[in-house]
Amino acid sequence: MATATDNESESRGPLARWTQSAIQNPERVYRALFYVAMAFFLVTTLFPFYWLLVLAVTPSGRLLAGSFLPSINLFGVSTTFPLPVPKGFNPQAFITVFEQVPFHLYMLNSFALAVTTTVIVIVVASLAGYVFGRLRFPGRVFLMLGILAISYFPPAAFVIPLFQAFAGNAPITLPFTDVPLFTPPRLLNTPGSMVLPFSALFMPLSIFILTTFYGQIPDGLEDAARVEGTTRLGALFRVIMPLSAPGVATAAVLTFISVYNEYFFSSIMATSPEAARWSPIVGGILSYQTQYTTQYNLMAAASIVGVLPVVILVIVAQERIVSGLTSGALKE
Amino acid sequence: MSTETGRESRRSGVLVDAMRWMENLSDTQYAYLLLGPVFVLLGVVALYPLLRTFELSLYATSLDLTSRSFVGIDNYVQLFTGGKNRFLPGGTTFLPQNVSTSALLNSALVVTIIFAVVSVAFETILGLGQALILDQDFYGRRWVRAAIIIPWAVPIVIQGMMFFLMFNSNVGFATPPLADLGLLAPTNTLNDTASATFIIIVADIWKTSAFMALLILAGLQSIDRGLYDVAKVAGASKWQQFKLITFPLILPTIGVAVLFRSVQAMRVYGIIDTVSSCAVVPSLSCMVVSTFNTREGTAAAIAFVTAAIIGVAVMGLIAWQGEDAI
């Protein structure tokens, strides 16, 4: 920022005047810096979405003709406009997206996978969160560290045996022996081959979030429910879980978004990018690329359609996301 | 403790017996019973595959996957001496062949580490900036926060599309200006290893800075505001307040966040697959995915080395944090 004390402040230009007052009042400099930084972050964050929109509404015939950065005449000097602008306006692309590829079906697959995983994760992580948050027993710290450690391992470390098992060609053997245990059903291209790894992958974060929330419910409330005749499990699902609704919502939102965003297992376990074979949006968006011609405007339009659910979710549930990431993620 | 109420006893006998049995368990027994589903899930989908991966890495498998022979640590030896490089996609290698820039950028191990270090470094700086902004009170803070979080929630395939379309040689507009600055190769940008690595790092920074920002913001908001009042009375400037109060107090948070993110960054795969290809930008996960269908032993060895590197980092993190980690 221009805070240098130079002698040119005599010239009384607007910048000089601002500089003069800034020296007398440094608060103004911080305020200006703050707005500059905020504008910078907003522009860099939102720009890629703007670019998708520019590309999506450009008619396909004009995609390759000329630059997206138009030349403009600024006070007689020809210069390049620094922001891409659409070459024409064709909102039709947002309809063609669904005609060319059944993109809605891919999104439906993603939704189904995300919802199923979220339900499994919430139920199983609730049991674990209850145990870690409310019970004292030998091995508690060791088990939590174990779950923590497993959650750090990369999906690549799990994928080879899982892919083989889900292919269902050979029986599972006891590791380090040839003793066959059982032959698994073929799960590739079915929800099972994705929901299982997703659940394991995203479960630890939910366990840690729910442990925190369940641990905060006063013992008296649980005891009261038990005196009323509720079973141990009933107390968890009828008293503790409803009282920790914000925590459950946090874990659910984070799990849903994580599954919707997942790439690794989504691209490997759905071996062909067909909606009928449970390929999620990963397969949907990439299938505009493997057509005879690469349809850039449709790829952009599909990306916008595909991102809308999570954008809405972030706007609606941002409090939950912030609290979940800050309370759970550091521990995970 | 008996909880046999009238409602309970009308149910079938087995269920009542199960309930009664559960009520009579000790805390420890009950804890392990409830943890059963977690053990089963993590055992089947994480622990078993991890052990099995290690087992596979000790065998050489015939190309049709029908027969295998025990080779001990030979897969690892060959991986580190370059004998396995011919199975990797494109001209990529596991370890760099020499110390020239192109050899380093063709090495999966080096690229993965460069990616993790550079992107996490920039994410930390930008995340700190974003966190300092979100820590202020201003009109419309809620919307600014939503805007800053959104990239974190964007699916990886869509994040990849954004940057693919920005730098693609047919429709991309961003290559010429950056090529003029000497940052990117002017033609065939996404198939140029250095350029594609640069773009992928930028894409990751764009997506993940917000995550860093939220972690750091949590640290900022736990600082006792009274400290700033004391500093103001003592006449400290805003910069001095940051240097002497804010920064030292959030340093531990930043440390944990950096380690946590580095471990995550070393998994990089999806963004490479969408923006460029594994043959151009090799990462460890990339190498596993592109070899596991044909060279099982090699893929398993790479996967286990990746897991081991991350495992060591995690041990460090847990040892450093101790029980605070929980």
Tally helices (H) and strands (E) across chain B.
18, 2
One-letter amino acid for residue B96 of the chain: P
Please state, in angstroms and rounded to a whole number, the distance separating the CA atoms of residues A148 and B46: 12
Q: CA A70 to CA A73: how far, in whole Å?
A: 10
Token pair of A130 as six digits: 């209850």
Residue B283: pLDDT over 70: yes
- Give the H or E element holding residue B228: helix B226-233
Q: Do A154 and B267 touch (CB under 8 A)?
A: yes
Tally C-beta pairs within 8 A across A and B: 301
Check whether B2 has a pLDDT greater than 60: no
B147 to chain A, minimum CA–CA distance in Å?
7
DSSP sequence for A37-78: HHHHHHHHHHHHHHHHHHHHHS-GGGSSSS-SS-EEEETTEE
Whether residue B99 is predicted with pLDDT greater than 90 in this model: the reply is no
CB contact under 8 A, A147 and B142: no
Chosen for mutation from A201, A212, A330 (greatest number of chain B CBs closer than 10 Å) is A330
Instruction: Give the per-residue pLDDT at B202.
Output: 95
Q: A172-173 and A180-182 as β-strands: parallel, antiparallel, unpaired?
A: antiparallel
Amino acid at B70: F
> For a pLDDT cut of 70, what percent of chain B falls above it?
93
Q: Looking at the partner chain, which of B41, B146, B263 has a beta carbon nearest the beta carbon of A199?
A: B41
A330·B257 Cβ contact <8 A: yes
| Partners of residue A197 in chain B, C-beta under 8 Å | 45
Contact between residue B253 and residue B221 where contact means Cβ atoms under 8 Å apart: no
| Residue in B closest to A255 by C-alpha | B153
Compare CB distances from B171 to A55, A127, A130 and report the shortest one's residue: A55
pLDDT tens for residues B37-92?
Answer: 999 999 989 889 999 999 988 988 776 666 778 888 888 988 888 888 888 887 78
- Read off the pLDDT of residues A273-290 as tens digits, 9 standing for 90 and up: 888 888 899 888 888 876
- Local confidence band at B303 (pLDDT 50, 70, 90 cut-offs): very high
Which among A41, A145, A229 has the least Cβ separation from residue B5? A229
Q: How far is B201 from chain A (nearest CA, A)?
A: 15
Q: Which tokens sit at A112? A: 């189904």
Instruction: Provide the shortest C-alpha distance from residue B39 to chain A (in Å).
Output: 9
Contact across the interface for A318 and B142, Cβ inside 8 Å? yes
Which residues are CB-neighbours of A277 under 8 A, at least 6 positions away? A189, A270, A271
Contact B177, A284 (CB under 8 A): no
ipTM score of complex = 0.88
- Does the beta-carbon distance from A231 to B28 stay under 8 Å? no
- Is A173 strand, coil or helix? strand
Highest mean pLDDT among A18-22, A116-120, A211-215, B36-40: A116-120
Mean pLDDT of chain A, nearest integer: 85
Distance from the Cα of B82 to chain A's closest Cα (Å) equals 21
The helix or strand, by DSSP H or E, that contains position A266, with its residue range, turns out to be: helix A264-269
Q: How far apart are CA A195 and CA A90, in angstroms?
A: 38
Cα–Cα dist B183/B160, whole Å: 20
Cβ–Cβ under 8 Å, residues A126 and A252: no
Closest residue in B to A159 (Cα–Cα): B49
pLDDT at residue B302 tops 80? yes
What is the chain B residue with the closest CA to A211? B326
Q: Give the per-residue pLDDT at A45.
A: 92
pLDDT of A1 > 50? The answer is: no
- Which residue bears the tokens 């795969």? B269
DSSP B28-71: HHHHHHHTHHHHHHHIIIIIHHHHHHHHHTTEEE-TTSS-EEE-
SS3 B75: helix
Report chain A residues whose CB lies below 8 A from the CB of B310: 152-154
Q: How far apart are CA B94 and CA B145, in angstroms?
A: 41
Average pLDDT of A260-267? 92
A43 pLDDT higher than 80: yes
Overall average pLDDT of the A124-153 stretch: 88
**Cβ-defined contact of A326 to B217 (cutoff 8 Å):** yes
Measure in Å the smallest separation between the Cα of A179 and chain B Cα atoms: 13
Torsion from C-alpha of A256, A261, A267, A272, nearest 10 degrees: 70
Nearest to B323 among A141, A300, A332 (CB): A141
Beta strands in chain B (DSSP E): 59-61, 68-70
* Helix, strand, or coil (residue B276): coil
